[in-house]
C-alpha cells in the first residue's frame, strides 16, 4: 500500500528508502570519521610514544653510565686509600727506622762522669778550641746564633787528627734535680746531634760529661748567672799535636 504526503508528491515507500539511504550514509560517514579520528590520534601519539621510548632508553643508559662511573670512582677511591695506607705504613716504618737509628747513635755516645780512666793516654790530649752555647729557660732547642757558633767551631774538625769532643751540659738550679738532669741531657744531645749530622762526626768521638745541675759555671743568684749555667760546652781535644825532640845525628869522623 502506498501512502502519499499531500502536497509533497512523495510516497511513504520513497520516504522509507530515503531514510534507509540516509542511515547508511550516516553509518558510512561515522565509519569514515572513526577511521579518520583513529588515524589522527595514531599520527599524533606515535611520535609521543617514540619520544617516551627514546627517553626511557636514554634514562636507562644514563643510569648505567652513572653506575659505571660510580663503580670506577669507588674503585679509584679504594685504590687511592690503599696507596695512601701503604705510603703511610712506609712512612711509619721510615720514621721508626730513623728513630731507631737516632737512638742507636745516641746510645753510641760515650756518657761518662769524667774522661779519666776512660780515654787512654789522656795526658797526651791537649785542648785545641772550645765553644759554649746557652739555652732559654726550660728549652733544649738550638737557636740560629747557637748553630752559627757551632759551625765556626766545627771548621777545625777536618784539619784535626786524633781528636775527641768533650761535651758538658748543664742547667740552672731552678726546679727538680731529676728533671734538670734530663733537660741538660736533651741540651747536650741537641748539640751532639747537630754536629754529628751536619759534619759527619762519628758518635764515638763524643764524650758527654757532667750532665745535670751539679757543675755550675756561674752563680744562680742572678739571672745572668743562671743564663750562663743553662749551657752546653764543647771542647776539641787532640793527641796529635805533641812535639817531639828530633833524633841527634851520630857523630862522624871515626
3-state SS, 144-174, equals: HHHHHHHHHHHCCCCCCCCEEEEEEECCCCC
CA proximity to 177, closest of 202, 213, 137, 136:
213
User: Which one is predicted more confidently, 85 or 191?
Assistant: 191
210 or 150, which is more confident: 150
pLDDT of residue 16: 56
In terms of Cβ atoms closer than 10 Å to its own Cβ (0-12, 13-18, 19+), residue 75 is exposed
Other Cβ atoms closer than 10 A to 189: 22
The pLDDT of residue 137? 94
Indicate the average pLDDT of the chain. Answer: 76
Decide which of 61 and 188 is more confident. Answer: 188
Residue owning grid cell 765553644: 131
How confident is residue 251, by pLDDT bands cut at 50, 70 and 90?
very low
Give residue 100's pLDDT: 44
pLDDT in the model for residue 34:
57
Give the pLDDT confidence of 137-187 residue by residue, as tens digits: 999 999 999 999 999 999 999 999 999 999 999 998 898 889 999 999 999
Q: Coil, strand, or helix at residue 208? A: strand
pLDDT number for residue 215:
77
Does the pLDDT at position 252 exceed 50?
A: no
pLDDT at position 76 = 72
The 10s digit of each residue's pLDDT in 11-37 is: 545 545 556 555 555 565 555 555 556
Cα-Cα end-to-end distance for the chain: 196
Contacts of the segment 107-115: beta carbons below 8 A, 24+ positions apart: 108/203, 108/204, 109/189, 109/192, 109/203, 109/206, 109/207, 109/208, 110/204, 110/206, 110/207, 110/208, 111/208, 111/211, 112/207, 112/208, 112/209, 113/209, 113/210, 114/209, 115/166, 115/207, 115/209
Average pLDDT over residues 118-134: 91
Cβ burial 131-160 (10 Å sphere, 16+ → b, else e): bbbbbeeeebebeeebeebbeebbeebeee
Give the pLDDT score at 36: 58
Of 144, 171, 161, nearest in space to 232 by CA: 171
Under 8 Å between Cβ of 167 and 188: yes
Please tell me what DSSP assigns to residue 8: T
CA distances from 195 to 95, 110, 190 (A): 21, 15, 9
What pLDDT does residue 68 have? 75
Take residue 136 and report the three cell numbers written for it. Answer: 732559654
Q: Residue 214: its pLDDT value, please?
A: 76
Q: Report the percent of the chain where pLDDT is more than 90.
A: 34
Amino acid at each position: 500500500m502506498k501512502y502519499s504526503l499531500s502536497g509533497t508528491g512523495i510516497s511513504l515507500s520513497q520516504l522509507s528508502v530515503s531514510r534507509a539511504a540516509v542511515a547508511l550514509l550516516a553509518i558510512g560517514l561515522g565509519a569514515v570519521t572513526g577511521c579518520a579520528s583513529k588515524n589522527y590520534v595514531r599520527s599524533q601519539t606515535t611520535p609521543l610514544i617514540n619520544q617516551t621510548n627514546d627517553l626511557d632508553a636514554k634514562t636507562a643508559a644514563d643510569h648505567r653510565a652513572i653506575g659505571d662511573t660510580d663503580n670506577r670512582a669507588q674503585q679509584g677511591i679504594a685504590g687511592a686509600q690503599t696507596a695512601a695506607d701503604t705510603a703511610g705504613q712506609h712512612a711509619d716504618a721510615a720514621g721508626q727506622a730513623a728513630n731507631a737509628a737516632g737512638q742507636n747513635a745516641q746510645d753510641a755516645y760515650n756518657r761518662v762522669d769524667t774522661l779519666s780512666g776512660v780515654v787512654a793516654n789522656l795526658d797526651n790530649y791537649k785542648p785545641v778550641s772550645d765553644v759554649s752555647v746557652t739555652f732559654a729557660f726550660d728549652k733544649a732547642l738550638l737557636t740560629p746564633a747557637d748553630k752559627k757558633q757551632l759551625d765556626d767551631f766545627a771548621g777545625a774538625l777536618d784539619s784535626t787528627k786524633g781528636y775527641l769532643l768533650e761535651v758538658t751540659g748543664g742547667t740552672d738550679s731552678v726546679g727538680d734535680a731529676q728533671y734538670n738532669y734530663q733537660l741538660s741531657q736533651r741540651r747536650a744531645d741537641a748539640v751532639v746531634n747537630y754536629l754529628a749530622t751536619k759534619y759527619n762526626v762519628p758518635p764515638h768521638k763524643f764524650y758527654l760529661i757532667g750532665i745535670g745541675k751539679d757543675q755550675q759555671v756561674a752563680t744562680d743568684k742572678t739571672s745572668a748567672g743562671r743564663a750562663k749555667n743553662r749551657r752546653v760546652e764543647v771542647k776539641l781535644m787532640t793527641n796529635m799535636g805533641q812535639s817531639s825532640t828530633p833524633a841527634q845525628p851520630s857523630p862522624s869522623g871515626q
